[in-house]
Structure 1
Amino acid sequence: MFTTYLEKISAHENLTSAEASHALKMIVDGMVSDEEVAGFLVGMRMKGESLEELTAFVKVMREASTKVDVDTTGAVDLCGTGGDKSGTFNISTAAMFVVAGAGVPVLKHGNRSVSSKSGSYDVLETLGAVPHLQKAEVEKLFEETGMAFMFAPNFHPAMKYVMPARKSLKIRTFFNMLGPLLNPAGVQHQVIGAFSTEAAAMMIQILANLDTKSAFTLSAHDGLDEISLSSQTEIFELKSNLSGNSTTFDPGSLGYSKVEFRELLGGDADYNAEIIINIVKGNASQAQRNIVELNAAFAIHAAGAAGTLEEAVEMASESISSGSAANKLEQFINASMRLA
């Protein structure tokens, strides 16, 4: 049966919603060999995934996940797809503490590095936090701190059937797009950075299909899966309804100066952890602080905590300047260690 799906996609034909669901269910139920999984991932990438296929995949993965039962009112998730090969530091992970410091609950979903030197898991671990908490511990952490990090493998056990193929392929697959859409707590407010404008456009439509309240999906002109300071960024917005077109956002419109891309570069988890500590303590370079502040502002606005982006920028800036973001980082590290 699975061979039929492989033959169909190798002929560049889209699967129906039912076929896409069944194919992925076979994979996540462990009924398919690693070689076939790899063939499916490569075949889908070469063909190009349809909106119908991706929506079906998200539904299957959400159903198979371990749910985190917390009050998600006003909470936001901010993450990137990865796969942009940019080599920047962990911008959305740093922004998590700035957002929390502004009083906005954060339910971040993430993983170890697949294609970069340091994923959100890696840098949080280096900072001294315990990122691999299980469901009950995550729920308690969020209750205590208003922040949580949900380590994808703990909440998507079915991914164990996909990881060998992903690791051996070492290329971007549709799972880069699925990951940010599979928040185990079911947050209704999201900011998702994508590796391309096409991916961002597809993801906002999937979120609209799945009844998300508000979201930004975006991709920067310099290839970054964050809102960049070295170029303009294409941003799609979902509110009560979806406008199909992106807005070209220029950081200058919020008073931010343009920077050289190299000023945003990171390194391994140790190097990136040091940058995050410097940002929340107000000791980072202007470029590092500003890009985190800007991305945090979009998350604050997406969560509905600020009526305008200008207000959100003020809240993000105050979070760093007041020491609130640094306190949140310390609180997160201590609470996660205790709960582990």
Structure 2
Amino acid sequence: MELVKKVNNGGILSYDEAYQLFEKMVTNQLSEAQIASILISMKNRKETSHEIAAAANVLMEKMVKFEHKFKNTIDTCGTGGDGKSTINISTAVAINLASMGHPVIKHGNVAQSGKVGSADILELLHIPCRLEKTEAEKYFVDNQFVFLFAPFYHPILKNVAKIRKEIMTSTIFNFLGPLMNPGNPDYQIIGISKREMLKTYTDAAFMLGKKNIVIYSSDDGFDEISTSDITKAYVIENGRIDYFFVDPAEFFKPFPLPVVEDKEEAVNLFMEGIKGENDEITKILALNTAVALFIMDKRDIKEHYIKAYDNIKSGNAYRKIQQLRGENE
């Protein structure tokens, strides 16, 4: 096939060409060897915004949609893949946001490179995270928070799951999750692990018509708002792309993000932060929450940082976990 040859020879695909290729890829019209070669070739020369947008559109057209009537919903799903094995910040931020009254539709999966992914940490916390569509829709109505387990909403991806696992490296598919939330949230914050892909990824999101979204990556290689280095963030709103920087030194004395050794430590540190018992982790969560609050009302991030920090210290975030577990019934 000419498009396979083009990619493997270093060629860059147009949007239409990429759409055709990924359509064939996920509908079993290419061999495993062809798929593997395409994914590796794209990774080696770096995926383009047209290719990312086309692949995401192919999958969105085939996904199971999550139905709801809520307004001002938000997702905190990032690409993951920074290999840093930090605590699951995006999930803690999602819970903190929900405890502040913001409806959260969290999209995610099990860990891809770290010790604990979003689904992993929620299971360890005994919060439902593998709900089928009907159950998830009811849970969202009851709790104004829901986790959409990616494999349930993108079943077509099972056709490439074996190949992705066997080639043992990240590919274009690792970029796609945050771009195809089945609940179509009104706002998003997306952390990107590969800083060199930040603008490319933002351009892809723009092509897909995304709006009210912040996409960021830190200078020290995290897919979070870093507490130890500058984070660059792009904003898509009002039909245009802008950018800003977050310097942790403007909020507190910078410190390194903690690395976890195993699931037990991941849960313990997660809960210490959510309960406000570990001040450094609470600051991490508050800073990342502040960026989410910013995209919703465009007010000063420092103001939102204080609000998010105080919310955790008040016990609201921990009480939300209790509610999500069903302990308040």
Which range, TM-score by smaller chain? over 0.9
**Equivalent residue for 1:303?**
296
SS in 2 for 1:260: coil
**Equivalent residue for 2:132?**
134
**Equivalent residue for 1:290?**
283
Distance 1:139 1:215, change over 3 A: same
State TM-score, norm by structure 2: 0.94
Matched, 1:252 2:249: yes
Give the CA deviation at 1:90. Answer: 0.6
SS in 2 for 1:138: helix
State TM-score, norm by structure 1: 0.91
Superimposed CA distance per residue, residues 156-197 of structure 1 (whole angstroms, 9 cap, x where no aligned partner):
001101211221122111111111111111113111010123
Give the CA deviation at 1:72. Answer: 4.5
Separation of aligned partners in 2, 1:26 and 1:269: 38
Separation of aligned partners in 1, 2:50 and 2:82: 24
Give the CA deviation at 1:122. Answer: 0.9
Separation of aligned partners in 2, 1:101 and 1:25: 40
SS in 2 for 1:80: coil
SS in 2 for 1:243: strand
Kept in 1: contact 2:286–2:306 (CA 8 A): no
Separation of aligned partners in 1, 2:77 and 2:253: 24
**Equivalent residue for 1:328?**
320
| Counterpart code for 1:249 | V
**Equivalent residue for 1:167?**
165
SS in 2 for 1:219: strand
Separation of aligned partners in 1, 2:29 and 2:115: 32
Give the CA deviation at 1:203. Answer: 2.2
Separation of aligned partners in 2, 1:66 and 1:130: 19
Match of 2:121 among 123, 127, 144: 123
List runs of 5+ in structure 1 lacking aligned partners: none
**Equivalent residue for 1:279?**
273
Distance 1:270 1:32, change over 3 A: farther
Matched, 1:265 2:259: yes
Distance 1:303 1:134, change over 3 A: farther
Distance 1:311 1:71, change over 3 A: farther
Kept in 2: contact 1:121–1:151 (CA 8 A): yes
Larger displacement relative to structure 2 (215-224 or 318-327): 318-327
Separation of aligned partners in 2, 1:315 and 1:100: 14
**Equivalent residue for 1:186?**
184
**Equivalent residue for 1:96?**
94
Matched, 1:318 2:294: no
| Counterpart code for 2:266 | N
Superimposed CA distance per residue, residues 106-133 of structure 1 (whole angstroms, 9 cap, x where no aligned partner):
1110011122221111111111122111
Separation of aligned partners in 2, 1:122 and 1:34: 29
Separation of aligned partners in 1, 2:115 and 2:3: 34
Separation of aligned partners in 1, 2:300 and 2:74: 16
| Counterpart code for 2:213 | A
Kept in 2: contact 1:10–1:47 (CA 8 A): no
SS in 1 for 2:134: helix
Give the CA deviation at 1:51. Answer: 1.4
Kept in 1: contact 2:7–2:13 (CA 8 A): yes
Separation of aligned partners in 2, 1:241 and 1:125: 38
Larger displacement relative to structure 2 (208-217 or 96-105): 208-217
Aligned counterparts, 1:203-242, within 5 A? 203-242=201-240
Separation of aligned partners in 1, 2:165 and 2:265: 24
SS in 1 for 2:273: helix
Give the CA deviation at 1:139. Answer: 1.0
Separation of aligned partners in 2, 1:74 and 1:334: 24
Separation of aligned partners in 1, 2:136 and 2:193: 29
Runs of 4+ with deviation above 3 angstroms: none
Superimposed CA distance per residue, residues 8-61 of structure 1 (whole angstroms, 9 cap, x where no aligned partner):
111111122222111111122133333332222111111221211211111111
Give the CA deviation at 1:148. Answer: 0.8
Separation of aligned partners in 1, 2:30 and 2:321: 42
Separation of aligned partners in 2, 1:248 and 1:313: 15
SS in 1 for 2:162: helix
SS in 1 for 2:240: coil
| Counterpart code for 1:184 | P
CA RMSD of aligned residues (A): 1.8
| Counterpart code for 1:257 | K
Give the percent of matched residue pairs that are identical in Structure 1 and Structure 2. 31
Kept in 2: contact 1:215–1:302 (CA 8 A): yes
Separation of aligned partners in 1, 2:106 and 2:197: 20
Count of residue pairs the alignment pairs up: 328
